[in-house]
Amino acid sequence: MNICSWSVRGMNDPSKVGDIKNFVNVNKISVVALIETRVKLKNSSKIQNKFGAQWHWVSNYDHSDRGRIWIAVYGLHSIETRRSLWRELSSLSALNNLAWLVMGDFNSILYSGDRVNGNSVTNAETIDFETCLSQTDLTELKSCGHFYSWYKGHEVHRISSRIDKAFGNSCWHGTYSDVVVDYMNLGLSDHTPLVMNYKMNMKKGGRPFKFFNYMADHPQFLQAVQKGWEKNQTTSVMQNVWSKLKAVKVELKALHKKEFSQLETNIEKCIRDLEMAQSISIANPDDSVAQEKEKECVAKLKLFLKVQESAYRQKSRIQWLQLGDSNSKFFFSAMKERYAINSIDVLYDDHGTKLTTETDIQAEIKNFYGKLIGSAATSLTGIDVPIVRHGIQLSAADADSLIIPISDLEIDTAIKGINVNKAPGLDGFNSLFFHKTWNIVKADIYNAIRDFFDTGVLLKPINLNSKNARCNWEGGSLCPGRIHSWKKYCR
């Protein structure tokens, strides 16, 4: 379903009505908000009928005799007159706990980069808008296409502003995280139409494995890791580690499904159980069994709430807030916003063709990087040895120090030096996993890292960023490039 907001700046011109009607049909718009129609009430039916009998219109003629809005949000032109809009949005937000979309011409700048070739953006222009968004829990939706939405004049250095926007509250972002707003061409207006594509019943594939930090606190965690690590012995030391990690994933997934699946449902159940236990305990103050049951419910609820906050924090990648301060709502909003930013739902190719299907987007990305990186050279220019020998060279002792065997202490120090909040590697495990399980996995990790430095060969499943497995590696959680003590280059 496509939703569109467009400040059309007048609809009394038949050619503009035809342009709008054509745009709506071509882009298969299901809901359209037309702003600044400037059509008087007596003429509104005649113009609306040109779109066809299947359309049902709602307008604001009760508030404006020129029908400024046919379904939408619209901000007036001055700072003073817009303040009533900010107040009304704040009032609506206080009464609403559902998914909420606010989309249209706000006639207001939000950021300093939202206008070029005009007057400098001042704090007085943005402060009311910023305060409103803070009070209403609204954040801007992801967008593509043109950046600016309003253009004044046709000269080279014409004024361009981004005053048409689309916002959603945290409930909207949580429910419709895949929507994207497309800023399209102007047509006969001086505003770009905003088209939001909502993919109903969109099927998603499973997410790749990711280790959650709260798993490390479970009493059966080390037992599950030990069970997986004892499997899949192979002849290749690096393949051995990779296979063992895959086996550990299976065990941890099973543990997670047993103890932490359907987290939200479990929290709701714990709350209901606690309410019932407290009712019985209060009604029977001498009932030790009821009091013990209440303690159990409190402990269980605290555990699940801590797990929820930990998961949201890890997914949001917010590191400047600490756990235990009831930041779950903030972490959840940040997580959803991050997911939306990181997804690619709409893409334009070199010819301006809009790509919306997953297959077309994947093909375009592959084609782009294929042209960017190019093909492998058939030959490379050799090093001019005489020139190199006349430059600064390492001493024999320094050269020897670069090829001494890697010690266990070096590996231990490097692993412990990786922040536990850093993103996981390709295998889905972050450094906290290795910190907690080091006594179980270290012997095989030692062998894998030494094998890499001895051979210069990295296992292909790990080295996904190169066709040739000989590299200067800077990647996943197990690779020597992440061990910052070593600055060595492989041939």
Q: CA–CA separation, 101 vs 401, rounded Å?
A: 62
* pLDDT tens, position by position, 90-141: 888 888 778 888 888 888 888 888 999 888 888 888 898 888 888 888 888 8
| Domain spans, the chain | 2-197, 213-342, 379-482
In the structure, what pLDDT confidence band is assigned to residue 316 with cuts at 50, 70 and 90? Answer: low
Overall CATH class of domain 2-197:
alpha beta
- Which of 151-155, 279-283, 340-344, 388-392 has the weakest average pLDDT? 340-344
- Which of 56-65, 298-307, 371-380, 388-397 has the weakest average pLDDT? 56-65
Would the pTM count as exceeding 0.85?
Answer: no
Name, of 76-80, 165-169, 343-347, the range with top average pLDDT: 165-169
More confident residue, 1 or 273: 273
Residue 205, judged by CB atoms within 10 A of its CB (0-12, 13-18, 19+), counts as exposed
**Is the pLDDT score of 468 beyond 50?**
no
Residues 262 and 225 sit within 8 Å (Cβ to Cβ)? no
- Which of 22-26, 74-78, 103-107 has the weakest average pLDDT? 74-78
In the structure, what pLDDT confidence band is assigned to residue 66 with cuts at 50, 70 and 90? Answer: low
In the structure, what pLDDT confidence band is assigned to residue 189 with cuts at 50, 70 and 90? Answer: confident
- 26's enclosing H/E stretch is helix 14-26
Which residues, at least 6 apart from 185, have a Cβ–Cβ distance to it below 8 Å?
A: 146, 192
| Residue 16 burial (CB count, 10 A) | 16
* pLDDT tens, position by position, 394-427: 888 888 888 888 899 999 998 888 887 777 776 7
Residues 141 and 181 sit within 8 Å (Cβ to Cβ)? yes
- Residue 162 is predicted with a pLDDT of 93
